[in-house]
Amino acid sequence: MAKLRYLFVVFALFLSACSNTKYLAPNQKLYTGGEIKIDDKDIKKSEANALQENLEALLRPQPNSSILGLRFKLWVYNKTRTNKRTGLRHYLNTHIGEPPVLVSSVDLTKNSSILQNRLQNVSYFLAQVSGDTVSKNKTAKAVYTVHAGPSYHYRKIVFPGEKDDLDTAVTGTSANTFLKAGDKYNLDVIKNERIRIDARLKEEGYFYFAPEDLIMKYDSTVAGHQIDMFVKVKNATPDEARWIYKIRNIYVYPRYTLRDTATKLDSAVKYRWYNVIDPKKTVRPFVFKNAVLLHPGDTYNRTKHNNSLNRMINLGPFSYVKNRFEDVTPDSPYLDIYYQLTQYKRKALSLDLLGRQTSANYNGAQINLNFKNRNTFKGAELFTLTLFGSTDLQFGGTGNGYNVYQAGIQPSISWPRFIGPFSFNTDNAFIPHTILTAGYTLINRTKLYTLNSFNTSFGYSWKPNLHKQHDLNLMNITYVDAASISQIYKDSIAHTRNPALAHVINNQFTFGPSYGYTYTNTTEDYRTNTFYYNGKVSTSANIFGLVTGADTLAGKVKKLFGTPFNQYVKLENEIRFYHKLTPGIKLATRFLVGVGLPYGNSTVLPYSQQFFIGGPNSLRGFQARSLGPGAYNLPPSLNTGNAFLADESGDIKIEANAEFRPKLFSIVEGALFVDAGNIWLLRPNRLQPGAAFGSNFINQMAVDAGFGLRFNLTVLVLRTDFGFPLIEPNLPASQRKVINGIDFTDAKWHGSNMIFNLAIGYPF
């Protein structure tokens, strides 16, 4: 570690010595940034710090970016200057390099005016700002002295009196106002208050009302630096904006084109409360009953209208939805609505060639031939048929040379509605779906075994709102049959006496329901803290096993269609928490807990349902599926010859991850991470001592750390991680802490401990 620190210091001093200022012309000075000085003693320190941060963000131009005080992008620019318009130097100069920002480009007067205006907009009406530059050798900074003066606060907020329906409606929104007595004046809040009132009125039928119809007046002559705020409807507001509009007729055009804009109302087919104009009958009228949320006679409601548009897109066959409102009765406020939908091509054929990395550290390729019919039975059903083939090569770990080849077929059909004896009435923006899938996969692991895998499922997926999603499968059926087993694999079972090897090739028959729930707000970038949770419960043969009296431990093994079935309950939980430290730096954490309870007809979870740990999306300092279970380690006396070692699996999994993610420059992001976790068996197994979960599980947690780079290419994120172990639970208790042996300068240590992971996307 001492050597590493020494090398880093030498490198930093070297870059510092290569000063960027030596490339400047004699009269040029490098701009190092702006500084805000607030000279008001009456302003609290916390308030002054917040105000200072707010004002500094407004300063232009921004100085050259730096990493740990080093202007790397400017250094690249200076080192790669060239007159050529092509080549590596030109690319580095224009894509990574950054030209110097000079103090001569700073407009002190303009910046001072912007700062003063901002201060006045956030309650400091008497603010004064002056700017100057401070030079040192070949660099200079801008210093802005701020005298903010007193801040003005609201004494009271006054909404309109009850002159007419519109005034009454505006006043009716006051309970949720953003303007509070005692708060500081803030122009942005005032603008948002107008938008809030308009949004509320749109829910109550004021179709033609707009935020501009409101005027916000304030009186700042009140003593004690207070103001009275008056919310008023402009006198010039037109009559249409004062009326509450209702719906008269609704027309849906499922096959609208710009070349055919005729209304064709004479060919309208009425279905319940709406009319469908589709002379070629490309879509059955009932399709829109879950999408058209407004009804004739309803008061116009913008949320219901927007949700209708979203639902029409979510139906599937339509690429674009346009709407038009027609004010049909000048003497009374009624609207006709026209929904004009443009269809995708009904049938599509595509070919995908994919590069991938699986959870078991396989690198390979897959080819998919996809057929889609977006309106199979004219009810907006999506039928998909996929033929696929893949090859995966494993590098590192115990699987070298035992490559995996797969081929299969997967048909599925999705209905944009609930199909079954029950239904959920929802009026949000999301269409519920009923999904039926099936599939067959032939799995060949060279030199080892060939498996036939059949699966089918039927269930529902729906979203109550933007953040929540439910996935209920009434039935999941999986059947895995070993078509052939090589002698080398049989010998491995005999030599290692590892039950996991035999478990892989056992026939697996599972059937039962599952339910998953997801909550996330991680798509809302404006939040400082975001959260993700996914929970899932899966079962197999619970009722059937109880009815038949299945009890493997008592020798009562029951079969279905000639195959012993699996009986279990499995719970999975994943929590992620993201915290923005600054706009370019994020802290990401994840915690996983999974437990499978085999019982009745099973003593262990089926291999396809067991937990695995390690690899590029898990503990990155360990090879994929090489950890655990527990403190178990295959004795050296059994690891002989050409025996193939199975992927380690368990019935219980605990994992925690933390990652520091700073943006470095351009498309490059960095990462420092720590991972911890392990898997365990639920019940002891004499052939795997130390593998069962117990009270000392915390001492059997594996821990690693590492660093990496992420290349954000917009369409995907290419990730490289270097991980190394800190605690190895499969070693004797006194030797598990391998952190003391870390030596980045030792090539032998690198070869034995550093794990390189190449993957697509963030690990979590």
Q: What integer pLDDT is reported at residue 152 of this predicted model?
A: 96
293 part of a folded domain: yes
Tokens (6 digits) for 541: 């043969």
Of 456, 377, 461, 466, residue with least CA distance to 418 = 461
506/648 same-domain check:
yes
Q: What integer pLDDT is reported at residue 273 of this predicted model?
A: 97
* Full residue range of the structural domain in which residue 279 is found: 246-343
Q: How far apart are CA 242 and CA 166, in angstroms?
A: 6
433 part of a folded domain: no
Q: How far apart are CA 709 and CA 717, in angstroms?
A: 10
CB neighbour class for 331 (10 Å; exposed up to 12, middle 13-18, buried from 19): exposed
Q: How far apart are CA 430 and CA 618, in angstroms?
A: 33
688/702 same-domain check:
yes
Residue 285 — very low, low, confident or very high, per pLDDT cuts 50/70/90? very high
Q: What integer pLDDT is reported at residue 357 of this predicted model?
A: 56
Give the position of tokens 């119809």. 213
178/314 same-domain check:
no
Instruction: Look at strands 139-147 and 30-38 and give their pairing.
Output: parallel
Tokens (6 digits) for 146: 């701020």
* Segment among 174-183, 425-434, 581-590 with least mean pLDDT: 425-434
Q: What integer pLDDT is reported at residue 521 of this predicted model?
A: 95
Query: Which CATH number do you get for residue 275?
Result: 3.10.20.310
750/611 same-domain check:
yes
529 pLDDT higher than 90: yes
447 pLDDT higher than 90: no
442 part of a folded domain: no
* Termini Cα distance of the chain: 29
501 part of a folded domain: yes
Give the mean pLDDT of 405-424: 90
Q: Calculate the average pLDDT of the chain.
A: 89
Given 193, 225, 242, the domain boundary residue is: 242
598/649 same-domain check:
yes
515/656 same-domain check:
yes
Among 2-6, 161-165, 217-221, the range with the most confident prediction by mean pLDDT is: 217-221
Instruction: Look at strands 128-136 and 139-147 and give their pairing.
Output: antiparallel
For residue 506, report the phi and psi dihedrals to the nearest 5 degrees.
Answer: -65, 145
* Segment among 283-287, 478-482, 487-491 with least mean pLDDT: 487-491
For residue 41, report the phi and psi dihedrals to the nearest 5 degrees.
Answer: -75, -20
Is residue 316 left, alpha or beta, with left meaning phi > 0 and alpha meaning psi from -120 to 50?
A: left
47/194 same-domain check:
no
Q: How far apart are CA 454 and CA 475, in angstroms?
A: 14
Amino acid at the residue 682: L
The pairs formed by 207-215 with CB atoms below 8 angstroms and a separation of 24 or more are 207/240, 207/243, 207/245, 207/300, 207/325, 207/333, 207/335, 208/238, 208/240, 208/241, 208/243, 208/245, 209/166, 209/237, 209/241, 209/242, 210/241, 213/237, 213/241, 214/170
Given 242, 261, 289, the domain boundary residue is: 242
Q: How far apart are CA 561 and CA 549, in angstroms?
A: 17
Residue 402 — very low, low, confident or very high, per pLDDT cuts 50/70/90? confident
440 pLDDT higher than 90: yes
Q: What integer pLDDT is reported at residue 9 of this predicted model?
A: 47
Given 242, 270, 295, the domain boundary residue is: 242
163/255 same-domain check:
no
71 part of a folded domain: no
Tokens (6 digits) for 635: 């004795």
How many domains is the chain partitioned into structurally?
4
Question: What stretches of 541-584 adopt beta strand conformation (E)?
Answer: 559-560, 563-564, 568-582
695/600 same-domain check:
yes
362 pLDDT higher than 80: no
623 pLDDT higher than 90: no
Give the mean pLDDT of 496-500: 67
430 part of a folded domain: no
Give the mean pLDDT of 341-353: 93
Q: What integer pLDDT is reported at residue 361 of this predicted model?
A: 54
358 part of a folded domain: no
- Could you report the per-residue pLDDT of 302-337, keeping only the tens digit for each? 999 999 999 999 999 999 999 999 999 877 899 999
608/735 same-domain check:
yes
Q: How far apart are CA 360 and CA 400, in angstroms?
A: 12
Name the residue with higher pLDDT: 435 or 395.
Answer: 435
Given CA atoms 312, 313, 315, 316 in this order, what sign does their dihedral have?
positive
Residue 628 — very low, low, confident or very high, per pLDDT cuts 50/70/90? confident
Q: How far apart are CA 250 and CA 292, in angstroms?
A: 9
Tokens (6 digits) for 584: 């370019």
Give the mean pLDDT of 694-712: 94
Residue 637 — very low, low, confident or very high, per pLDDT cuts 50/70/90? low
Query: Which CATH number do you get for residue 542?
Result: 2.40.160
Amino acid at the residue 178: F
Residue 13 — very low, low, confident or very high, per pLDDT cuts 50/70/90? very low
CB 240 within 8 A of CB 234: no
396 pLDDT higher than 60: no
DSSP string of 473-536, one letter each residue: EEEEEEEEEEEEE-HHHHHHHHHH--HHHHHHHS-EEEEEEEEEEEEE-TT-TT-SEEEEEEEE
466 part of a folded domain: no
568/677 same-domain check:
yes
Give the whole-number percent of the chain exceeding pLDDT 90: 67
726/600 same-domain check:
yes
